[in-house]
Chains A and B, each alone.
Chain A
Amino acid sequence: MRPSVMGSARLTRFSFSRSMIRRATSNNWKATRSSIELDEYGRGRIIYRVEAEGHVFHFVAFTTTIDESQHTDRVIADAWEISAALIEGEVTQDLLDFLTEEVPKQEDSRLDSRVLVLTRGNRSVRFYEYLVDHLASGSQPNPELVGDAGYIMRSTAFYGNGKFGMRSFLGFDSKHPLSAPYRAQFLAAWLFREASYDSVEYCAQIRNPEKAVAFNKEWCRFFGLGNSTGLGLVPWAMKHPEEVNAWVGIREIALANVRKLPGSAERIEILEKWIDQGYLHFSSFNGEDCWPWMGPDSLSSAILEIQNQFSLLKSDEYPFDALYLWSEHQGDEINELVVSLLLELDETSDEEIDQFLRVNSSHLPDLSLTIEDLKKKFVEKYSWLDELNLESPNAEYFWWVYSDHAEEPRRAARSILDPEHREMPIDIALRLNELRKDLNKSENDTKISEFLKDSPQHGIAINRLVKESGPYSEPRENVCDLDHVPLNLQRFQLAMYGMDNFKAQSTDWVRVTLFQGAPRITELCSDTSDDWVWPQQPKGTNEDLEKEPV
């Protein structure tokens, strides 16, 4: 995939937030709040229990308040207003004591295999107190003041899969309810969002038991969970070709299937419903473009254009293909918006989706391969390297490194800092380019194992070349190039997670929301539909609008 296409991706029905909710509803998961012990400032502890397909999970959240000056979006912060863990099993007093001690330490904690996910975040400085005060006084928020927020709390990391001693997800069998990629993290994120709602409503109740109200129907699903993401997603994408292949592949296969569908009244109605929902969502927000992406104003205009175009094309024999072909000439963002809408027509079952996304990255090397075999693979798989200008001085402008503060991935200019031994080996395009040059100096019948004895530095590139990771496994870019824009890879992954409202804060850092519009824990039932995404901003009442500004 071209980087600019990856950087235009939107959430789809394959996104992890949606597939998690679908699995929960279709398998009758039961989620309840086990306990809530907070003071009037929201400091204390909240525990949720989830019973899912014979397994029991708990989300244990510890909350406090910190000074506004300590709030930061970056992963390196030292203090958090909420820190939490998702665990499998019952919460015994011993385990609770252990979590109370370890979870607030975050990256400095030492956990064990009972713990699946570790997370943390902060309240919205702008809105948390405002929301508590309004509910405490018996009124609902003013949408003009908080409607653009989209969240009450903002997370920054969901650690899992063996970090800090936690359980490795590879240990789950395929029937385990959290065995699909990121399902554990997204269960944790959904419960984190629930905790943000409960925290506000509970505090309001403590502050004014006589008058306090809960969020009304307009607001009770509107807020999602905020998230802020830095450069960490780029190394992940470069180190996980099988996963990238699966994430792109499932969309591409589904899109190809949808494009082949003939028009039918039912399908046309479904697509028109989604187009309407998208229009109502984007047009209910006001917002200009936020570089490099379209904002709500442009997106609502774009959806109107899509709507108009589809009304012209819907009588075609293959109207969905026709709409896609039209969108190919409208720029990457509109094209990807159309893809996202069309994928709603896909009928791949959740079991098939989960199975497709559960990839096996292990690889049994073929010890018989020769240099000639490698040269052929270059031609088959990596001809696009020639388009990257890898011999230019700018091709090696940046190198990637982990900082000593929370191991935050960063990039540094080679002209300013010498990498020494600290370079992250995610310079895949450069490594492949060097390998190609050295292969051309070698005899064709030389075995790879012999070649590697003299040139062990090519191990990573050879492994990449010989693994059959799939046609979409390789982001076609050089992440060390001066002109590399990390936001593209970040957005693709965030869209796959199910995040939306992309607001780039720089070339390296983006804010998003997830689970906006999603059902609350008490709403989880087999009737819960999958069309909860793209909620409209609440309109409020005249009374709300007259309230004091924040």
Chain B
Amino acid sequence: MSDDIVSVSPREIHDLVQRASRVKGCEASVAEKIASRITFSEVYNGGGINSWLQIAAGEVGALNETFRLSQVLDSIPSENSSSFTWDPPISFALISEPLDLLQSHGFTWSCEPEVVTGESLVERVYLIEQASANSPTKEKLATAFSEGVQVNKSDWKDLTDIAANFLLSEEILDDAESLLTNE
């Protein structure tokens, strides 16, 4: 393994993104969803963590807003074919999991421009309902469970540092407990 890569487990990605999203102002349910999407993207496409870092480095509330924009893909489209646009474009890392779910409901999808990794920015998604749509495969997830996911060490450190602010100082907790005991 190269020095700039670290092997992590899917649950670690999920836990850290969930915590880091809380630190960046997301409510617990939103943070949970974002963590699920980023983990999915990192496992299947790579670049999920880096995408998260890029969004989180933006304006206050950027994560919440990006998540809100991704929610258009959380419902089954009422039409057989439909398209969704984002301007500015949205990170593929935030929409790859909902697209996978729609695929399991019989929709094929394509992105414009074509996506390469979770970091790819998507301007438009086309959805077409097709009886022959292939169910998504889960082989990469099985490999991730067995062998771990190789992620960029610097990204991992940045994410870990942000997520650390989800934890509360032992000293503060001990002091609060003493106050409670003395109440």
Contact = CB atoms under 8 A, between A and B. Distances in A.
B168 A403 contact: yes
Contacts of B80: none
A450 B78 CA distance: 13
Contact of B176 (A165, A168, A417): A417
B109 interface: no
Interface string A520-546: 000000000000000000000000000
A408 to B, nearest CB: 8
A422 interface: yes
Interface in A139-177: 161-171
B28 A416 contact: no
Nearest to B147: A113
Nearest to A459: B29
Contacts of A417: 168, 172-173, 176
Contacts of B74: 367, 449, 452-453
Contacts of A113: 7, 9, 146-148
Contact of A162 (B11, B23, B142): B11
Interface residues of A, number: 46
A457 B67 CA distance: 12
Interface in A395-413: 401-405, 407-408, 410, 412-413
A349 interface: no
Given A165-B7, A165-B8, A368-B76, A459 B170 contact: no
B131 interface: no
Given A112-B148, A404-B167, A459 B7 contact: no
A401 B180 CA distance: 16
Interface size class of B (residues with CB under 8 A): 35 or more
A168 B68 contact: no
B71 A412 contact: no
Given A401-B173, A421-B23, A422-B22, A165 B9 contact: yes
A447 B75 contact: yes
Nearest to A412: B176
B110 interface: no
Interface string A365-377: 1011000000000
21 contacts: A162-B10, A165-B12, A167-B9, A167-B145, A170-B145, A171-B147, A367-B74, A401-B167, A401-B173, A403-B168, A403-B170, A405-B170, A408-B170, A410-B177, A412-B177, A417-B173, A425-B32, A452-B71, A453-B68, A457-B29, A459-B32
Given A404-B164, A412-B176, 4 more contacts: A170-B145, A413-B176, A460-B29, A460-B32
Interface of A: 76, 110, 112-113, 161-171, 364-365, 367-368, 401-405, 407-408, 410, 412-413, 416-417, 421-423, 425, 447, 449-450, 452-453, 456-461
Closest 3 CB pairs of A and B: A162-B9, A459-B29, A171-B145
